[in-house]
A and B are shown apart, each in its own frame.
Chain A
Amino acid sequence: MGIGPSTKETTLHHFRDPLLDLVDKDEDIDLVGIMIVGTPQHNEEKYFVGKRAAAWLEAMRVDGAIISVDGWGNSHVDYANTIEEIGSRGIPVVGLSFVGKQGNFVVKNQYMDTIVDFNKSLQGIETEVVGENTPDYLDAKKALALLKLKMREV
């Protein structure tokens, strides 16, 4: 499993990503960068890249991170692991993912308590309509608000 048509973030999406726009404009936030991490095939590699991502964030001394994923199913193995690696280092982390009814997490951990579900279809499924289940400004707002709350608790 991987990325279905409705959750697929097109090149145009990346060019005008609502998540970047919203976080970057927030005067209370010092946006340090966008980290791109891949979704490799084998579990050993999944854990390797997830741990490297978390090590980077720790070294960057971030106060918090928002992690977004544009696939589901098998990609959630990587996603859950990377969130755990980040969370277990004491870094507040909030997620964005398609969940709906079809995309329930195959694995979960204690750091996945703040995940914004950007499913937008009534049926909660991969509708195969390009663009339908992609994150918008409201999803980004929810994620940033949750992160601010989490960062306050630390």
Chain B
Amino acid sequence: MKTDERILRRLVIKTYHIEDVVLGNRILISNRRLQISAGIFDKILTKFNHIQDIAIEIIPPKAHDRWTNSIMDIIPISTKVLGKLGEGITHTLTGVYVMMTGIDGAGNQVAEFGSSEGVLKEKLYLNRAGTPAEDDYIISLNLTLKEGQGTNRAAILEAHRACDLFVQEIRDKLKKVDARGYTEKHEFFDKIRMNRKRVAIVKQVAGQGAMYDNLILPQEPSGFAGGRSIIDLGNVPILLTPNEYRDGALRAMT
């Protein structure tokens, strides 16, 4: 530690790289292989009033010459192992990301200001910070909302909640993987750099309604449960520490 720095808190993010994703009857993470299960969807569909159907598909790298409905979100699979968001230890999978897409029962795309349905390779720009790399797997969750629900805020929230329940099952396994078997380990500090220029980052985010919303500080990194909508918070400025933000404190619902 440098003498002109004061450490406030520490966050460790361990990555576990995945090279193969398969569908099975239960969830397993071992030897860089992720097995997922669609078992939870039946339960979700009986409880969630706005969702008509959820279809799961594994899209291998470079197999993007296929149809996609409008992309609602790309979500990393991460979980807290120790501490709360922004400190302690987080496990995250690399090489695989969840893609949420949406349509309603009448065939309307779930989107607010332009939509991204079409051939996937023409609609998803790879290798950006917010999109998968060309060698990554995509777990596609295509949600069909009931007719006319694509512009209903409650239905969109339900869609994110359903997706989060699916991811949570993987998170629960990811919590228990061998702590020393990680691929990469990154250490981050919230700190004060004394006598340096004090700078804040301001992020203006959506906050008006369905598909124009953001969730702050969910229980799990990039999760949904426990988060607060910026709309419900009155859109007023909320401060996050650098470590909270990089630990998945902001869930995009745009």
Contact = CB atoms under 8 A, between A and B. Distances in A.
Contacts of A31: 193, 199-201, 242
B199 A71 contact: no
Centre residue among B116, B222, B248 by max chain A CB count within 10 A:
B116
Interface residues of A, number: 73
B237 A9 contact: no
Contacts of B222: 11-12, 14-15
B115 A39 contact: no
Interface of A is mostly: mixed
Contact of B125 (A12, A28, A57, A132): A132
A4 to B, nearest CB: 4
A39 B236 CA distance: 9
Interface in A1-55: 1-6, 8-21, 23-24, 27-41, 45, 49, 52-53
Given A36-B240, A136-B129, A75 B198 contact: no
Contact of A36 (B111, B208, B216, B221): B216
B155 interface: no
A107 interface: no
Given A11-B75, A134-B130, A36 B193 contact: no
B141 interface: no
A28 B197 contact: yes
A140 B222 CA distance: 22
B130 A13 contact: yes
Given A15-B246, A40-B235, A130-B124, A5 B203 contact: no
Interface in B88-144: 92, 97, 111-116, 122-126, 128-132
A10 B74 CA distance: 6
A106 interface: no
A15 B208 contact: no
Contact of A130 (B71, B240, B242): B71
B40 interface: no
A15 B83 CA distance: 18
Contacts of A6: 125
A9 B71 CA distance: 12
A70 to B, nearest CB: 7
A44 B14 CA distance: 44
A109 B72 CA distance: 34
15 contacts: A3-B212, A5-B123, A11-B251, A13-B129, A14-B222, A20-B242, A35-B201, A39-B205, A52-B236, A56-B237, A62-B199, A63-B197, A65-B199, A65-B200, A67-B204
